[in-house]
């Protein structure tokens, strides 16, 4: 599978990333899903300390034992959680980041994290302090690179200007084209890679779209009404026989995007998102056609 570099780092990740949040709490099932993804060429696993209150990291830690050098590992920090009480609060402080990374290392059964991300963020955060924590971890060799997971253009701009981040994870799909307004170009200009999460828009841009639109889009989605979602699906279906492939390749078309991050709760879902030719890109003409079917919506907040 094609690999792309994350920002200015020496880390290369597969063009498709397995987002592990949907693995569930069955350790054996989770292990089989991850092993299958690794076997077919995905080298990048994305998790967070908050997912299932640490259990997600523990499952991944079990899987990567003995093959750590073959896996690029991303995890996130910033949600100060209590495993027993099942609650959490936002904490981007330097003290929490530097103490929590030790817990993530323990759960992941590794002595370093390839890509460490702040799991959110606002302009009210102590941004300089947060950056300092990540920079120190990088200097200490505990992490290889860092970035943020955010949909907020104003926060993304702050980190792009004030830190050495190599990547941003942000929501991006044919139904959520807000990053195209200026975020993607800004990051590309600054050699900061994008990890596009939600490229299938909750399954409404997958081969199961008709069912998912009825389940998850009945009250609309972003600027789209239920009727618009149904009409666009009809037109997309007339344009392709593999909507999963087209949706993933759509977000990968922009040069800022290093990887499309999809979630999976079964091996079958991994197959749906990988068993096609990743070496071919969307033509410029077809890419423009897809844009003509959807909306170039903009951010109302966090500008």
Q: Which residues in the chain land under pLDDT 70?
A: none
Q: What count of other Cβ atoms lies within 10 Å of the Cβ of residue 162? A: 12
Domain range for 214: 3-293
Tally of structural domains, the chain: 1
The Cα–Cα gap between 19 and 260 comes to 9
Is position 148 within any domain? yes
Burial 265-274 (b: 16+ CB within 10 A, else e): eeeebbebbb
What is the Cα 197 distance to its own chain's centre? 4
pLDDT tens string 211-261: 999 999 999 999 999 999 999 999 999 999 999 999 999 999 999 999 999
Which ranges of 153-195 would DSSP assign to H, the alpha helix? 153-162, 183-189
Taking phi first (over 0 means left), then psi (-120 to 50 degrees means alpha), and beta for anything else, what does residue 252 get?
alpha
CATH number at residue 183: 3.20.20.100
Query: Catalytic residue positions?
Result: 51
pLDDT tens string 137-157: 999 999 999 999 999 999 999
Task: Locate 178 and state its tokens.
Answer: 């807000």
- Residue 1: helix, strand or coil by DSSP? coil
How confident is the model at residue 302, as a pLDDT? 80
Is position 99 within any domain? yes
Is position 203 within any domain? yes
At residue 125, φ and ψ (nearest 5 deg) are -70, 160
How confident is the model at residue 2, as a pLDDT? 93
Is position 35 within any domain? yes
Task: Locate 227 and state its tokens.
Answer: 């009727």
Is position 299 within any domain? no
Is position 300 within any domain? no
Is position 254 within any domain? yes
Candidates 63, 81, 59; CA nearest to 71 is: 63
Is position 298 within any domain? no
């Amino acid at each position: 599978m094609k690999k792309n570099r994350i920002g200015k780092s020496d880390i290369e990740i597969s063009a498709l990333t397995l987002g592990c949040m949907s693995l569930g709490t069955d350790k054996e099932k989770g292990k089989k899903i991850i092993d299958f993804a690794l076997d077919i060429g995905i080298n990048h696993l994305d998790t967070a300390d908050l997912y299932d209150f640490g259990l997600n990291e523990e499952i991944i830690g079990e899987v990567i034992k003995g093959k750590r050098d073959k896996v690029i590992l991303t995890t996130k920090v910033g949600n100060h959680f209590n495993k027993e009480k099942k609650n959490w609060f936002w904490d981007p402080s330097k003290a929490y980041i530097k103490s929590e990374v030790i817990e993530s290392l323990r759960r992941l059964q590794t002595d370093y994290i390839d890509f460490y991300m702040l799991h959110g963020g606002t302009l009210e955060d102590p941004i300089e302090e947060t950056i300092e924590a990540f920079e120190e971890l990088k200097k200490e060799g505990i992490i290889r690179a860092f970035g943020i997971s955010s949909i907020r253009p104003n926060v993304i701009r702050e980190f792009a200007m004030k830190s050495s981040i190599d990547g941003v994870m942000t929501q991006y799909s044919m139904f959520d084209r807000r990053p195209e307004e200026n975020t993607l170009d800004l990051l590309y200009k600054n050699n900061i890679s994008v990890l596009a999460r939600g490229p299938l828009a909750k399954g409404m841009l997958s081969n199961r779209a008709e069912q998912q639109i009825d389940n998850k889009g009945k009250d609309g989605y972003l600027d789209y009404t239920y009727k618009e979602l149904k009409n666009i699906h009809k037109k997309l279906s007339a344009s392709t026989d593999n909507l999963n492939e087209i949706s993933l390749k759509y977000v990968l078309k922009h040069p800022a995007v290093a990887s499309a991050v999809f979630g999976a709760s079964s091996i079958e879902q991994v197959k749906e998102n990988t068993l096609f030719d990743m070496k071919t890109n969307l033509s410029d003409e077809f890419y423009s056609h897809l844009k003509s079917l959807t909306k170039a919506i903009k951010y109302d907040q966090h500008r």
